[in-house]
Amino acid sequence: MTKRRIGIGLLYSRSGSYSLISEACRSGALAAIATVNADPDRDLAFVPVERDPQGNVDLYGPLCEEILRDTPARHVIGCVTSWSRKEVIPTLERHGGTLWYAVPYEGFEASDHVVYTHACPNQHLLPLLDWVMPAHGRKAYLTGSNYIWGWEVNRLARERITQAGGEIAGERYLPIGSRDVGRMIDEIRYARPNFILNSLIGPSSYEFLAAYRDLGQRDPHFLPQTCPVLSCNMTECELPAIGPAAEGLVAAGPYFRGIDGWPDAGRFGSSHEAAAYVAVLELARLLHGHPGAEALPLSQLVAQRGAGGIIDPETHHTVLPALIARVEGGAFRLLHRRAGVAGDPYLTRGTSAVIAPQLRVVS
Amino acid sequence: MRRPIRIPTLGGARAVILHRPHATVQALLRQLHAIGLEVTQAWPEAGAEALGADYLFFDADMGHDGLFPWPAGQPPMPLIALIGSEAPGRIEWSLRAGAHAQLLKPVGDNGAYSALLIARDAFDAQKALSAEIADLRRRLDGRQTVVRAVTLLATLGKTEEQAYAQLRQMAMAWRISFEDAAARIVAMRDGPEPGVQDG
């Protein structure tokens, strides 16, 4: 089959504080591009157009503009932080472009120009809280990096935990990149919560986990069995940077390596990789057999070609399994699974009422 | 004084868009559907069904007083103005109509969610304030009655302070407000024999 050559933007930072996640997404996207290009049954081949914002949030808008203005690419796979995603949306609107976003985020967004292929809170945070409160107790300490991801995840956690009769023992934020975790550890030591929700990113998170492991060695209350650290954004791609301090960490996500789920189990190193891979394959499916479809705005593309695909036409979110897994011996082991959870970015579609039904702990 | 914001239940909430068919309506419909609301569009009048809406968006550019099925400036739900022309006369009219928030036209990819939350908060705050003002006004109006009741009780041989305390006890015993208790005392004097005993 003759292949149409279609430009596809890649907007991932190859350096900076969250580069491990960018690299995971990027390799998932590149693997999918290679798959599509090698598939003789697809009438298209993707030509990657790469720009590297180097972890600088102010470069995302201009570089996205460069892709959409100076090249034929209309679809961009990219962005890790919510902050950078918000930066590129006006550019996407102006040029009728589409961003495929493959990272968990805090919800409360449903752009007409973005497809969200990773989890939002009803697919990560809420199942995680539903699991942890019956298992460990309702007294929480909340941490996060100082930007919208941590703020919003913790706001929602605070709301859910207090609704369930729990309490917030403390809440503290660090600037992105900061390793100044001493005060958090002190507060945790005195507050003695039942669990810690960690929405720190990059080096702040690695430092925190290392310091918390030390604390656990001094005081057994802070061992993972009694007071675990939870995360909605931790995946395999960051485990090497954390080392043994990751042991016992409990994370929520749509996919963990080696655990049956979504998509081809075992094929991907992390859910970031898997979500970016799925994004590119879905784009290929939408464009296959329809020359010119690559120039359509996302809403029209989904309206005309979306049937049988993964994109909810109203919210542009996807149906994902909600898995909860714990790091044991350097890999995630499944604790709990909720299958087929549709993304509900505004928590208005009935999933918001789910508080601790009878959950079965798989061990 | 500031209350914490309450995130309203938006899933299945009903919104009416009072605007002629237009790309702005399409964009707003998309946003509201994504958020999870049920939406109807109406023009040139809101119609009676608008009374059952939880939120109402209206066209500030073409709007006029006959648009709403309620007295001017007294909407029973949060109103959001869709403003294209930022002319002072149109903004003045929108404010008189009772707008709690606004969205600028052309409506694009976002803005509806924050407009809904801000309008709901402003509407609730306004309602709470109105109720508080009405209560204060009622109590202010009752001031003269309180003075009369205290004087009346004082004529039964009490000091003003004791009379005041007695009136407070009566209000508590009768489970009514201080002002209402005073009104009752005054009415008893004006009517048949008071028969008020120490309480």
Q: What is the ipTM of this complex?
A: 0.80
Name the band, by pLDDT with cuts 50, 70 and 90, for residue A356: very low
Q: Does B109 touch chain A (CB under 8 A)?
A: yes
Q: Does A163 touch chain B (CB under 8 A)?
A: no
> Hey, is A37 helix, strand or coil?
helix
Model confidence at A58: pLDDT above 60: yes
Out of B11, B27, B113, the one facing A350 most closely (by C-beta) is B11
Residues of A in contact with B11 (CB under 8 A): 346-350, 352
Element (H, E) at B142: none
Name the band, by pLDDT with cuts 50, 70 and 90, for residue A261: low
**Which residue type does B179 have?**
E
Q: What is the pLDDT of residues A61-97, one digit of tens each?
A: 999 999 999 999 999 999 999 999 999 999 999 999 9
Q: Of A191 and A18, which is predicted with more confidence?
A: A191
Model confidence at A260: pLDDT above 90: no
Out of B35, B37, B109, the one facing A112 most closely (by C-beta) is B109
Q: What is the pLDDT of residue A259?
A: 84
A110 and B10 in contact by Cβ < 8 A?
no
Q: What are chain A's domains?
A: 4-119+261-319 (3.40.50.2300), 125-257+320-353 (3.40.50.2300)
A314 and B109 in contact by Cβ < 8 A?
no
> Nearest CA to A141 among A190, A92, A105?
A190
Tracing tokens 């023992």 back to the chain, one arrives at A169
- The mean pLDDT value of chain A amounts to 93
pLDDT tens series, chain B, 199 aa: 456 667 888 999 999 999 999 999 999 999 999 999 999 999 988 888 889 999 999 999 998 888 898 888 889 999 999 999 999 999 999 999 999 999 999 999 999 999 999 999 999 999 999 999 999 998 898 888 999 998 988 888 788 889 899 999 999 999 998 889 999 988 887 765 544 444 4
**Which residue type does A331 have?**
A
B110 and A111 in contact by Cβ < 8 A?
yes
Q: Across chain B, which distance is largest between two alpha carbons, in Å?
A: 78
A109 and B36 in contact by Cβ < 8 A?
no
**Searching chain B, which residue's CA lies closest to the CA of residue A93?**
B109
Q: What is the pLDDT of residue B47?
A: 84
Q: What are chain B's domains?
A: 14-135 (3.40.50.2300), 142-190 (1.10.10)
Q: How far is Cα A296 from Cα B141, in angstroms, rounded to an integer? A: 67
Average pLDDT (A224-228) is: 97
A348 and B110 in contact by Cβ < 8 A?
no
A346 and B108 in contact by Cβ < 8 A?
no
Model confidence at A234: pLDDT above 60: yes
Q: Does B4 touch chain A (CB under 8 A)?
A: no
Percent of chain A scoring above 70 in pLDDT: 95
Model confidence at A354: pLDDT above 50: no
Model confidence at A235: pLDDT above 90: yes
Q: How far is Cα B94 from Cα B162, in angstroms, rounded to an integer? A: 54
B33 and A314 in contact by Cβ < 8 A?
yes
